[in-house]
Chain A
Amino acid sequence: MKNIITIILSTLFSLSVCAQQEGDILIKNGTVITITDGVKEQTDVLIRNGKIEEIGENLSASNVKTIDAEGMFVMPGIIDAHSHIALDVVNEATNPVTAEVFVGDGLDPYDVSIYRALAGGVTISHAMHGSANAIGGQCETIKHRYGEVDPEAIRMDGAPRTIKFALGENPMRVHGEGNGIAPATRMGMEQIFRNAFEEGKAYMKAQKDYAAGKADFPPLYNTRSEVMADILKGDIIIHCHSYRADEIYMLLKVLEDYGVKRICFQHVNEGFKVAPELAAYGAHASVFSDWWAYKFEVYYSTAYNAAILAENGVVTSINSDSGELIRHLYHEAAKTQRYGGLSDNEALKLITLNPAIQLGIEDRVGSIEKGKEGDIAIFKNHPLSIYAIPQITIVDGIVRFDINEDNYDMRLDIDPDEKIPTFYETETHSHHGEGDRCMQDVYEFLNHKH
């Protein structure tokens, strides 16, 4: 016990700017699920300087921490394309368009949810702005380097920029119903997007005019227009909270009009109804395994959504959007075998390579391949089995979760004046109402308005 505390606390002290974030590890004799190159029995994986150096039999390396994975399953670290963990702020709900804000400004490396996600084999998550606004804030792809307390240290450097869009009930409820301003309908929603893109275009033109000597001054700096312009330039991937087929179709048409290609629909419960259109556009889908019926716009859903989308050629992933589900995405992925009969590899792709593609990081993570980053999850029992138990989770060659070193109180920071850790009653429905992280900060905002 004491050891663990000392270890954690010593990590705490070694943090700082130059904290070590890449390690060397040799994983021996596991059943290696590569995702891109089949399943290899009795195979070793060598990670050096945080990168996968070799995959093969009877590898050896000196001065390297070795993990005996005999009888275990070794898979790529799981990637969650939709979460709100490790964030102090989720929603800046004051405006239907808040492209200017960036949840990466509010990262919380202390969040114990990161550790719990690691204990479910998840090494990367997409920390997203909430769904209060038609255009929410920019999001951040984070690596679960739990133990580091510098917010900078959990960013996945070099990952493409992403932004949250949202359709349907949430933005309509917050702005139309809550504040009496547009959008109150899905028709209004469309115009919000067109308007914002037009603003971005006008701003870009003003910048060009200045550069070409046609104007005396550049336009007054405007963060929102800068971001909208970057979306138009294709520098930012859109991740759009959506449910109904009609609204998904609407956004596809708007994006087509503005020449924006990179779009991943999130939740997209009725994506299955427009799967051919999504596939034709090259749009991606990141879905719940089985959430439905908690609000009207998800009443006509099916747990077969992921399977239908995948079969229709849409790059599909399973996400959590929840501090609970993120702990067992391997199980959520397995549900596509019950609902749609996906093969093991197809199912596991939904939580590894496919979310990596959706986040634009597939050349770095998402499979066990030479040269990719050393993000690995080791399981007892096959990860798609209900009896799977994550054993060790590695990020960049550093063990961030080890079931044998797990103990009480894995928090990184405690308040010395705290009496005992607070007990929270579970809410009956964790995926909506006050407990909905997707709508976090919104109720506070609305309460101030009334």
Chain B
Amino acid sequence: MNNRLIRLLVVCMMPIVSFGQVDYDEIIKATDKVFLKDVIIHDKPGSVIEYGSILVENGMIVQVGKKLTEPDDALILTADSLHVYPAFIDALSHSSIKKKEDGERPKVKFPGSPPDDVAGITPGKSAFDFIDAESSDLISMRELGFGIVHVAPRGRMLPGQTAIISTSGKSKNEILIKENVANYAQLKTSPGVFPATMIGVLTKFRELYKQAEGANQHMVRYSSSPLGLQRPTYSDAITAMIPVTKKQQKVFFKAESAKDVHRVLALKNELGFDLVLTDVKQVYPVVDKVKSSNVPVMISLDLPDKPEDEKKDEEKDEEENLTTEEMKALKERKAKAYQDYVGQVAMLEKAGVNFGFSWIKAKPKKMQEQMQTLIENGLSENAAIKGLTTVPAQLLGISDIAGTAEKGKLANLIISTAPIFEKDSKIKFMLVDGEVFEYEIKKKKKKTEDGEAIDIAGTYTYEISQFGASGSLIVSKEEDDYKVVLTDADDGSELEAKNITRDGNSMSFDLKVEEDGFSMDVSVNLDFSEDDFEGSVNTDFGAAPIEGSKVDPN
């Protein structure tokens, strides 16, 4: 495993360069047409075409309907009786945006007046400049059903302009759908310099906004008759805020808690910009206010754990610290709080608030499961789909090209084994810009009972198909400590894991892969079920799935 893993990673890191000549390392596609036959098409929220077909050509949907003629020059997807949905649209995330390096922050003599970039005020920067088209983020977003992601630069108070990109896996220029879509804002402070507090951030935002209004007046007058007028010279930050003040650009403002929602709404009411509340985790206390303000809300799906799951801990806490009465009260309140969180999206639906989902903080990895929880707690499936398709499409101004599976739109489709939020529904194919991605449906695993820890010791095979690595993995237990050894099938080399931790039926450990003086730290997370495991191998260069199954001891 060792040497190959490294080799593969090194190859992956090399930039793909096109020289305008035929490259026989690339496969030339047989056809640009894809035909989906006998599928159940959920073409737009609330509408279903039973056993219809879809024809995709050059990355676009060209026909949707019941009795389409099967073309003879198309790739026919055997998707019989599968469900087709428009691919999801991520309302905002940092997918594929490069992380900033943790360098020393520059020294500022007067921390009260730092340069704008040190203060985190860079509303003019474009997300596109920070996109890493090779990022594994885009692959995992696609795997979860997203065809389009709306991304914001990372940063502090005003990180910059957002961009809409496709998850088609193509080159950076090809995946860009729209640049400078909106401005991204947060109540995030700049340590050690102004604004070092949230109240400083709000003050600075107001000031910039009013300065941009003034700058605009100046610029308009100057451009019509400059004679005798001072030449407008305004900072990049002020200039970049002008479209916001003219409502030509929305502000996606991150507001995690109900308190922050109140604050951001107050700011919007005062200044009057076009607001999209983004990455809201706690919305239940403010549903009415949000409703009356008519502001769309992008929910961050970071659901709390179900309270019952920690019963044992609670007993211990009670014994050690609280009284029975207090524990009882606390338990009731926690249960209520949990209900508030899992029921709040349904409350938004009922109130008629325009909502979608963003993934700045929470990762969509558990989205399907979480959507099921929301649906069990009153959210309609239709509203869930809307929040993932038509709502963000409309907010981002891309309704004409995305959000539904209708003729003329981008061929961004999910093809799943069952209605998408049904339990055990799996994505079989994704089409993004007409490109087909097929996923292996894993056989249903024997489920262990909730909370019951299984014995994970034993010998397993493992496979990391992305790296072409495989071999055996032995888990053994001595008293309370685990030992994990991986043996490469090719060269028989052994690697022993370090920092092994087990949490329920999950295990994580680190490996140090060394080869020719080149060494790399790899961290591995595995989820075990009765006879097998799946998980991920994470390196500095990206992540890859790993899976394996128990070798029959007999």
Contact = CB atoms under 8 A, between A and B. Distances in A.
7 contacts: A16-B287, A17-B292, A94-B192, A179-B111, A220-B214, A414-B330, A444-B191
Interface stretch (A48-56, A311-319, A398-406, A417-425): A417-425
B193 interface: yes
Contacts of A102: 199, 202-203
A110 B334 CA distance: 16
A103 B203 CA distance: 10
Contacts of A101: 197, 199-200, 203
B196 A149 contact: no
A254 B317 CA distance: 58
Interface string B258-269: 110011001000
B307 to A, nearest CB: 6
B313 interface: yes
Given A216-B229, A413-B258, A413-B337, 15 more contacts: A1-B329, A5-B329, A5-B336, A15-B285, A16-B286, A95-B111, A101-B199, A101-B200, A110-B259, A221-B213, A221-B214, A409-B329, A414-B333, A416-B307, A417-B304
B218 interface: yes
Interface in A121-137: 137
Interface string B105-130: 00001111100000000000000000
Given A216-B229, A417-B304, A94 B200 contact: yes
A137 B203 CA distance: 10
Interface in B271-305: 285-289, 292, 304-305
A89 B198 contact: yes
Interface stretch (B62-70, B135-143, B320-328): B320-328
A418 B322 CA distance: 14
A216 B230 contact: yes
A218 B110 contact: no
Interface residues of B, number: 62
Interface in B210-248: 210-211, 213-215, 217-218, 228-230
A64 interface: no
Contact of B211 (A95, A106, A181, A221): A221
Contacts of B266: 151-152
B159 interface: no
Contacts of A449: 111, 192
Interface in A171-190: 179, 181
A218 B203 contact: no
B194 interface: yes
B86 interface: no
B111 A94 contact: yes
Contacts of B327: 420
Nearest to B293: A17
A418 B334 contact: yes
Contact of B207 (A221, A415, A421): A221
B3 to A, nearest CB: 43
Nearest to A12: B285
A175 to B, nearest CB: 9
B503 interface: no
B325 A152 contact: no
A344 interface: no
A151 B262 contact: yes
Nearest to A442: B196
B317 A419 contact: yes
A109 B260 CA distance: 12
Q: What size tier do the contact residues of chain A reach?
A: 35 or more
Given A2-B332, A408-B329, A416-B307, A92 B195 contact: yes
A223 B285 CA distance: 32
A181 B207 CA distance: 25
B64 to A, nearest CB: 43
Interface in A77-115: 88-89, 91-98, 100-103, 105-106, 108-110
A62 interface: no
B338 interface: yes
Nearest to A110: B259
A223 B326 contact: no
A113 to B, nearest CB: 15
A249 interface: no
A211 to B, nearest CB: 15
A386 interface: no
B440 interface: no
B147 to A, nearest CB: 32
A177 to B, nearest CB: 14
Contact of B288 (A2, A16, A95, A448): A16
A91 B197 CA distance: 8
B341 interface: yes
B112 A417 contact: no
A441 interface: yes
Interface in B344-389: none
A448 B108 CA distance: 12
A94 B194 contact: yes
Contact of B203 (A105, A109, A415): A105
Contact of B328 (A1, A12, A110, A415): A1
B18 to A, nearest CB: 46
Interface in A201-244: 216-218, 220-223
Contacts of B111: 94-95, 179, 445, 449
Given A95-B194, A217-B214, A409-B330, A150 B262 contact: yes
B44 interface: no
A292 to B, nearest CB: 30
Contacts of A100: 203, 207
B259 A88 contact: yes
Nearest to B305: A417
Nearest to B194: A94
B337 A105 contact: no
B206 to A, nearest CB: 7
Contacts of A88: 198, 259
Nearest to B341: A416
Interface in B167-196: 191-196
Contacts of B113: 95
A359 B398 CA distance: 53
Nearest to A221: B210
A9 interface: yes
B310 interface: yes
Nearest to B323: A408
Contacts of A95: 110-113, 194
A414 B337 contact: yes
Given A181-B109, A221-B207, A223-B203, A92 B194 contact: yes
A92 B197 contact: yes
Contacts of B192: 94, 445, 448-449
Contact of A416 (B112, B217, B337): B337
Nearest to B114: A94
B38 to A, nearest CB: 45
Given A216-B230, A416-B338, A418-B334, A441 B196 contact: yes
When A and B form their complex, which 3 residue pairs have the shortest distance between CB atoms, in order from nearest?
A95-B112, A448-B192, A16-B288
Interface in A1-52: 1-2, 5, 9, 12, 15-17
Interface in A427-447: 441, 444-445
Contacts of A444: 191, 196
A193 to B, nearest CB: 16
Contacts of B333: 5, 409, 414
A400 B247 CA distance: 42
A149 B286 CA distance: 9
Contacts of B322: 420
A408 B326 contact: yes
B194 to A, nearest CB: 4
Q: Which of A109, A150, A409, A415 has the most CB of B within 10 A?
A: A150
B114 to A, nearest CB: 8
Q: Which of A9, A96, A217 has the most CB of B within 10 A?
A: A217
B353 to A, nearest CB: 13
Nearest to B201: A105
Contacts of A223: 203, 206-207
Interface string B16-42: 000000000000000000000000000
